[in-house]
């Protein structure tokens, strides 16, 4: 994983699951996404940043903000949230 809990910028998360929970292994799938669960947000963001080949902490923080403030309520699965975050962070990339 690129980042861990200490790298997160927001503090509203619950951390009820362990980072080794089986829902946070492999690729994002059809599992329900819980945006308040810190380990789940961290997992999806790390996977999205891996997809983008990005390793900047600013991208992690931007992804956190996107999930907290703009995530469409219709996106309920890890896979869908991952794809949405990737798309949004790609749009945010500087031109050139």
CA distance linking residue 35 with residue 14, whole number of Å: 10
| pLDDT, averaged across the chain | 93
Predicted local confidence at residue 94, as pLDDT: 62
pLDDT band for position 96 (50/70/90)?
A: very low
Closest to 59 (Cα-Cα) out of 68, 71, 50, 69: 50
Average pLDDT over residues 2-15: 95
Predicted local confidence at residue 92, as pLDDT: 80
Closest to 34 (Cα-Cα) out of 84, 77, 65, 85: 77
Predicted local confidence at residue 21, as pLDDT: 83
User: In the numeric block, which tokens belong to residue 6?
Assistant: 């200490």
pLDDT band for position 23 (50/70/90)?
A: confident
Q: Helices 57-70 and 78-91: crossing angle, nearest 10°?
A: 120
pLDDT band for position 1 (50/70/90)?
A: low
Residue 31 has phi, psi (to 5 degrees) of -65, 145
CA distance linking residue 53 with residue 6, whole number of Å: 21
User: In the numeric block, which tokens belong to residue 38?
Assistant: 């810190």
Average pLDDT over residues 58-71: 97
């Amino acid at each position: 994983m690129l980042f861990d809990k200490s790298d997160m910028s927001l503090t509203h998360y619950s951390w009820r699951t362990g980072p080794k929970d089986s829902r946070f292994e492999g690729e994002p799938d059809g599992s329900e996404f819980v945006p308040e669960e810190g380990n789940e947000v961290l997992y999806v963001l790390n996977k999205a940043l891996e997809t983008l080949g990005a390793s900047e902490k600013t991208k992690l923080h931007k992804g956190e903000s996107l999930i907290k403030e703009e995530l469409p309520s219709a996106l309920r699965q890890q896979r869908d949230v991952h794809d949405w975050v990737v798309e949004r962070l790609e749009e945010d990339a500087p031109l050139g």
